[in-house]
Amino acid sequence: MKICVLSQTLNSRTGAGVFTGNIVSGVKRSRPDIEFSVITSEDYIKPSFYHLLKTWPRIRDEIKKSDMAHALDGYPYGVVACLANIGISKPIIITAIGSGSIRKLGGIGWRSWLLRWAYERATRVTAISRYVAGEINKVLPDLLIEVINPGVDYDFYAGQSGEVKTATEYEYIITQGEFKRRKGYEEILPVIREVIMVRPDLRYVIVANESRNESYRDKLYKLMEDLGIRDKVTVRSNLSREELRETYRNARLYLTLPTNVEGDVEGFGMAIMEAAAAGTPAVVGKGSGADDAVLDGQSGFLVDGGDRGQVVEKILSIIDDENLREILSDGARRWASQNNWESKMKQYIDLYEKI
C-alpha cells in the first residue's frame, strides 16, 4: 500500500510538521509495508497560482502512483487533493485540523465553495477534535466525520531528565504556543496578574519563538507593562525537546485560554498533552479543540475562559493544595499514557485498510 500525504510541512519545529511526521513514521513502524510520499507547501503546494500550475503534473502523478491520498487539513490540502484527483479517482482522506478546515467553510466565495465540495467529494473525513468536527457539521450537517485525536510521545515526555537541567529558582505557570491572538494571551495575562497578587513569588513562563509575529508580541509586552507584571513573565525561545520537557515538568500547571478569532481556532491542544505526560496538570478554557486534551477533574480543569474569577480559583486550588496537584499530576500521566501515538496509529491503519 502506498499513500500520498499532502501537508503544510515536515519541519519538526512546527506543530504541522510534528503531526505529519508522527503519522508517517508511526504507521511505518507498525506497518513497514506501507509506503508514503509526502507533498508539502515547501515544495509543491505553494500559495502561488503560477507555482501550483507548474507543479500540478507532479502532484497528479504522485496521487496516480499511490493507492490513496491523505490531505492534512481541508484548505488548501484537501481541496488540492480532490482537484488533482479528477480523472484519477483514487480514494481521498481529509483530516480536518484547525483554521484551514473551518475558516473558509461558511463563506460565499469560490474558496468556501471548493472547501465544501472537497469535504463532500472525499472518501472519508476525519477531524483531530470534536470541536473541529462540530464546526464543520454546522455547515455540512450530513457529513460523516470520524474524530481521531493526535497522540503524544508519552515515552519521551514522561522520561527521565538525563543531562538537561532547567533552572527552577521560582515556581511558575507555563503556556507553550506562538504569539497569536487565538492562543488567548490577552485573556491569560490579566489572570496571571490576579494570581500574582495572591502569590507574588509566582512567575509565568511562555515558550514561544520571539522572532515570529513580532508586532503582536510587542503588543503583549505592552500589556504586561500596563498590568505591572512584565518582570514576572519570562519568554523562552528555541528550546530543545529535552529542555521543553523539563520546562513542562517543573511547572506548577499548564494554562491556556484559547480564543476563536474569526475562524482562526485551536484545533487541538498538543502542548497540553505533552505537559500531561510530564506530570503537569492543566487549566484550559472551554470552547476549542483543546477541550479534548484535558480530562476534566482528572488531568486538570476545563473552565469558562471568560470568567476570570473561576480561572483564578482553579489555578490557586492547584498551586495551594499539594495533595490536589499530586492527584491531578498522576491523572495527567495516566491520561497521556492512554493517548500515546501508538494507540492513534492503530486508528489510522484501520482507516487506511478499510478504504
Q: Is 236 helix (H, G, I), strand (E, B) or coil?
A: strand
Give residue 283's pLDDT: 99
For residue 138, give the nearest of 109, 105, 99, 95 by alpha carbon. 105
Q: How far apart are the first and last CA of the chain?
A: 11
Cell of 139: 455547515
Cell of 141: 450537517
Task: Say what percent of the chain tops pLDDT 70.
Answer: 97
For residue 280, give the nearest of 304, 315, 236 by alpha carbon. 315
State how far the Cα of 326 lies from the Cα of 318, in Å rounded to an integer: 9
* Residues 173, 134 within the same domain: no
Calculate mean pLDDT across residues 283-297: 98
* Residues 277, 205 within the same domain: yes
* Residues 139, 210 within the same domain: no
pLDDT tier at 161 (50, 70, 90 boundaries)?
low
* Residues 202, 323 within the same domain: yes
Q: In this structure, what are the phi and psi dihedrals at residue 4, rounded to the nearest 5 degrees?
A: -95, 115
* Residues 161, 84 within the same domain: no
Q: How many Å separate Cα 217 from the centre of its chain?
A: 20
What is the number of other CB atoms lying within 10 angstroms of the CB of residue 73? 25
Cell of 340: 500515546
pTM, 2 dp: 0.93
* Residues 273, 205 within the same domain: yes
Those residues whose C-beta lies under 8 Å from the C-beta of residue 200, and which sit 6 or more positions away, are none
- Cα distances from 245 to residues 81, 152, 281, in angstroms, run 36, 12, 14
Calculate mean pLDDT across residues 281-292: 98
Ranges 40-54, 94-108, 279-293: which has the least confidence: 40-54
* Residues 200, 232 within the same domain: yes
Higher per-residue pLDDT: 45 or 17:
17
What is the number of other CB atoms lying within 10 angstroms of the CB of residue 116? 20
Q: How many domains does the chain have?
A: 2
Calculate mean pLDDT across residues 84-105: 95
The CATH number for 166's domain is 3.40.50.2000
Lookup result for grid cell 504556543:
177
Taking the CA atoms of 151, 67, 73 and 127 in sequence, report the sign of the dihedral they define: negative
**Residue 160 predicted with pLDDT over 60:** yes
* Residues 63, 202 within the same domain: no
Calculate mean pLDDT across residues 187-205: 98
Higher per-residue pLDDT: 49 or 133:
133
pLDDT tier at 166 (50, 70, 90 boundaries)?
low
* Residues 212, 251 within the same domain: yes
Question: Containing domain of residue 164, as a range?
Answer: 154-338
Q: Tens of pLDDT along 243-262? A: 999 999 999 999 999 999 88
* Backbone Cα Rg of the chain: 21
**What does the mean pLDDT of the chain come to?**
94
Give residue 125's pLDDT: 99
The most confident of the ranges 38-52, 151-165, 217-231 is 217-231
State how far the Cα of 275 lies from the Cα of 248, in Å rounded to an integer: 5
- With contact defined as beta carbons under 8 Å apart, do 97 and 269 qualify? no
State how far the Cα of 75 lies from the Cα of 328, in Å rounded to an integer: 37
* Residues 283, 348 within the same domain: no
